[in-house]
Amino acid sequence: METKVFTFLGRAGCGKGTQAKLLSDKLGLVYIGSGELLRERVKQGDFTGKKTDATMGQGNLVPTSLIFMLWINRLEEIKKDEGNNSKGIIFDGSPRKMVEAQMLEEALKWYEWDKSFKVVLIDLSREESFNRLT
């Protein structure tokens, strides 16, 4: 069975996380939220965890290499389980930078999941995003 891969993109407050989780639950897809992965990494309490916490606390983006490492670790777990329970994958809010998009594409090719990759853009105006978040 072909592993389906989706990524949900959009401005803050557009509901991408909500929609991604709903679809994940409905279709039995593995949910990968970069924010969730980073928060798990922070819990390790080492240098990278502490620096990640401080960086996110300032509202800044962490290095792409860190995101990629977290994705690869998670994708490897999913590949290991492929054929058992996994029907597909949903990325929530990733990629955020062009280089992340290129790295994600490369990773999906490596794991042989690039043929069924779909991007879902939830379009929301800047004004509406601001209104929802304030």
Residue 1 has pLDDT above 70, yes or no: no
- Average pLDDT estimate for 27-36: 90
Tokens standing for 83? Answer: 């054929």
Architecture of domain 4-133: 3-Layer(aba) Sandwich (3.40)
Domain ranges of the chain: 4-133
Residue 123 has pLDDT above 70, yes or no: yes
What is the residue-averaged pLDDT of the chain?
90
What pLDDT is attached to residue 109? 94
Q: Between 98-110 and 64-81, two packed helices, what is the crossing angle to 10 degrees? A: 20
Q: Which residue has the higher pLDDT, 15 or 82?
A: 15
- pTM of the shown model: 0.80
- Average pLDDT estimate for 124-131: 89
Query: 30 has which bridge partners?
Result: 89
Tokens standing for 124? Answer: 């929301």
